[in-house]
Amino acid sequence: QVQLVESGGGSVQAGGSLRLSCAASGFRSRNSRMGWFRQAPGKEREGVAARDNDGSTSYADSVKGRFTISIDNVKSTLYLQMNSLKPEDTAMYYCAAGCLWASCGVGYPSRYNYWGQGTQVTVSS
């Protein structure tokens, strides 16, 4: 059974940093496409960062240069390092896995089959 469990969210001031973690089980995270998505109240879910099974990464334009996606294959844990946080980064952040399409970048949240429960990130100005 696939499980994704996020942690690391919280409340920070603008300019601060947070590192989100996503503990994965039930599948081989090393060769899996995984990503981070977020959803703010009243808005659609949007892609933040994605990692393909060849290790390549992609980011939403709004977070490029500030966020970094990485994986620890020994711990089967996906991370999202978030620096220089802005109030507009406030959202529920979700970890996702299990995309079997040819393209699984940040623009395709509906292509991911497995989702965590989310972790809240709140950035105050």
pLDDT of residue 100: 87
pLDDT digits (tens, 9 = 90+) for 33-58: 999 999 999 999 999 999 998 889 99
Give the CA radius of gyration of the chain: 13
Confidence of residue 32 (pLDDT cuts 50, 70, 90): confident
> Is the pLDDT assigned to residue 29 strictly greater than 70?
no
Per-residue DSSP letter, 51:
E
Contact 47, 111 (CB under 8 A): no
Percent of the chain with pLDDT over 70: 98
With tokens 């620096």, the residue in question is 83
Q: Two tokens at 65?
A: 């240069």
| pLDDT score at 30 | 65
Q: Cβ–Cβ contacts within 10 Å for residue 64, how many? A: 10
97-106 pLDDT, tens digit per residue, is 989 888 888 8
The residue with tokens 């099974």 is 53
pLDDT per residue as tens digits for the range 61-108: 999 999 999 999 889 999 999 999 999 999 999 999 989 888 888 889
